[in-house]
Amino acid sequence: MTNILKIDTSLRSGISGTHPHGSLSRRLTELFIQQWRENDSSIDIKYRDLGQDPIPYIDEEWIISEFGYAESEEKAQQRLKLSDELIEEIQWADVIVLGVPMYNFGPPAHLKAYIDHLVRMNKTYSFDITQAQPYSGLIDDQKNLVLLSARGGHDFDSADAPFANHVEPAIKTAFNFIGIKKIHEIAIEHQETGGTLLENSILAAEEKTRTLVRNLQTKTTL
């Protein structure tokens, strides 16, 4: 059995092609799950919809609890309970399917809030100042992160415009840091352009998604 954690972050609640003004990133995450189920109905899925049910931002009380300055251990545990749950979900998953729209060159703010709850010393990474590389990820490096994104513009991965894309680089940096190295990226572009360019981009991304599912299921990239 494969454990899949599906995370959507789009503020659009519907799915493109099914609902008016629906989300393209949700369209890809839904396709990924549908394709996987076609060949493996025994998968176990956990789901987080950060777009409709966002994670609260960390605050001063959270920082105090995380770094051991809370008034009591009980208070600290209570404040960090959600963070612990989110980390347990990542530890449980074999495959993490993350749907992310690009908002003003970067990921949604609520995804950053989610990542802040994941990156914790002695939970998801260790720090040893005596080592040449003091930081080490503690999450199993055999997990796969599938990053399915949607953008209004295009050519954000080209050599001419790497500075304009803060979606994949930011997410990859954080997940690499905690130990997840197997990261697969698929993106839909031309949402603002529309027309044939958008249609072709959707078709290409959907075909790449189907191919990735087949590869992961046959363990060619696991």
> What is the phi/psi pair of residue 137, to 5°?
-70, 145
**Residue 13 assigned to a binding site:** no
**Residue 47 assigned to a binding site:** no
> What is the phi/psi pair of residue 47, to 5°?
-130, 135
**Residue 10 assigned to a binding site:** yes
Instruction: Give one DSSP letter per residue of 49-84, joined into a string.
Output: ETTTSPPPPP-HHHHHHHTT-SS-HHHHHHHTHHHH
**Residue 105 assigned to a binding site:** yes
Which amino acid, one-letter code, is at 44? D
CA dist., res. 124 & res. 145, Å (int) = 15
**Residue 65 assigned to a binding site:** no
**Residue 102 assigned to a binding site:** yes
Query: What are the angstrom distances between the C-alpha of 18 and each of 92, 105, 184, 187?
Result: 31, 26, 25, 19
Binding-site positions for FMN read 10, 23-25, 102-105
Residues annotated within a binding site: 10, 23-25, 102-105
